[in-house]
Amino acid sequence: MPPEVPHYRSSVTPLVRFSPSISPEAQLNQLYRHKYWRGEKGETNMNFARKKLIPFLVLILSIISVLRLIRVAITTSSSSSHPLPALPPLGDSCSNPPSCTKFQSERSASINATRLRKKEYQLLSNLISQRAPCNLLIFGLEPQYLSLSSINAGGTTIFLEDDVNKISTMTTDSNTTRIYRVDYEVPAKEAYNLLKHARENPVCAPSSKQLQVSKCQLALKNLPQEVYELKWDVVVVDGPSGNRPEAPGRMAAIYTASMLARNGNITDVVVHDVDRTIEKWFSWEFLCDENLVSSKGKLWNFRIMGHTNSSKFCLPKEVTIV
């Protein structure tokens, strides 16, 4: 049997009392009116109003989203309809001063990146002053280097440059200073393969001195004839640019400079931008840290003793086991 539920009397006073003198129908009507004024019907109406309001809110939010998309589309189409400003000409005239100012600042930044710092130029000019008059060979052509030919008065200065624009804008009045255009065909991204080739092939050894007929992939064989014939006192490597993987690298220039230096008596080889990986690697490999005599900033000065028949560029490293 189910448990019995105790009967109890609520202590809450009913809100509506039924009177025996009023008919049941009247009592029900009185109860209905009482609930109506208590707000039960108002709550029902309010819930119904809220349900009707939700679709309107969704509609408003959708309209706002569509307006935002239209605004973005209009802005994008208006910005793409205007072409980018063309680069200004290299001359002095300029039809669009703001564009010219931006281009000139970028060009100045590029020039400053390749320019020798004051302490670097001082080291190089002091070296040439000490050895002048001498045979000076420079891979690269920068405005600062033209003054070096005047310091080397009475000597021979030769510039090797691959940029036609630089050659056309720089001239020299000295009969002993010459500028030659050369081509560097190997991009900087081939540096590792070339270094591996040089280590594995005896044709790249310093004892193989005939650069013009060398089978070493690093040998520059298309230089002017006097480059191979002269005994060089100072060789500067600051070209080609080597500033991008696809741009011509300085691998062959550093190797060729080391070979030319070993054909002389005592040759100072100066390499710029040794903060870059290729310049640093190939300087260590072919010019050797035991030949490093001075440095300033991004400039290293190696002193190479010529007339060597060694099969190695650098002295073997001694390993001490404790």
Whether residue 159 sits in one domain with residue 41: no
Rounded Cα–Cα distance for residues 36 and 8 (Å): 30
Q: Kindly give, in sequence order, each residue whose CB lies less than 8 Å from that of residue 260, ignoring residues fewer than 6 positions away.
A: 137, 211, 227, 228, 232, 235, 267
What residue numbers bound the domain in which 189 lies? 116-305
> pLDDT tens digits for 215-226?
999 999 999 999
Higher pLDDT, 72 or 107: 72
Whether residue 277 sits in one domain with residue 138: yes
Whether residue 123 sits in one domain with residue 64: no
On whether residue 164 sits in a domain, the answer given is yes
Of 224, 234, 290, 298, nearest to 260 by C-alpha is: 234
- Beta pairing class for 299-305 and 266-272: antiparallel
- Give this prediction's pTM: 0.65
Whether residue 287 sits in one domain with residue 150: yes
- pLDDT at position 231 is 95
Of 232, 204, 231, nearest to 216 by C-alpha is: 204
Higher pLDDT, 150 or 208: 150
| First-residue to last-residue Cα distance in the chain | 99
On whether residue 225 sits in a domain, the answer given is yes
CATH number at residue 248: 3.40.50.150
- pLDDT at position 58 is 79
Confidence band, pLDDT 50/70/90 cuts, at residue 10: very low
Higher pLDDT, 307 or 89: 307
Number of domains in the chain: 2
Confidence band, pLDDT 50/70/90 cuts, at residue 311: confident
Give the bridge partners for 191, in sequence order: none
- pLDDT at position 73 is 60
On whether residue 277 sits in a domain, the answer given is yes
Q: In Å, how far are 64, 68, 72, 73 from 77, measured between CA atoms?
A: 20, 14, 9, 6
On whether residue 86 sits in a domain, the answer given is no
- pLDDT at position 99 is 47
C-beta separation of 254 from 271 below 8 A: yes
**pLDDT of residue 140 exceeding 80:** yes
Mean pLDDT of the chain: 78
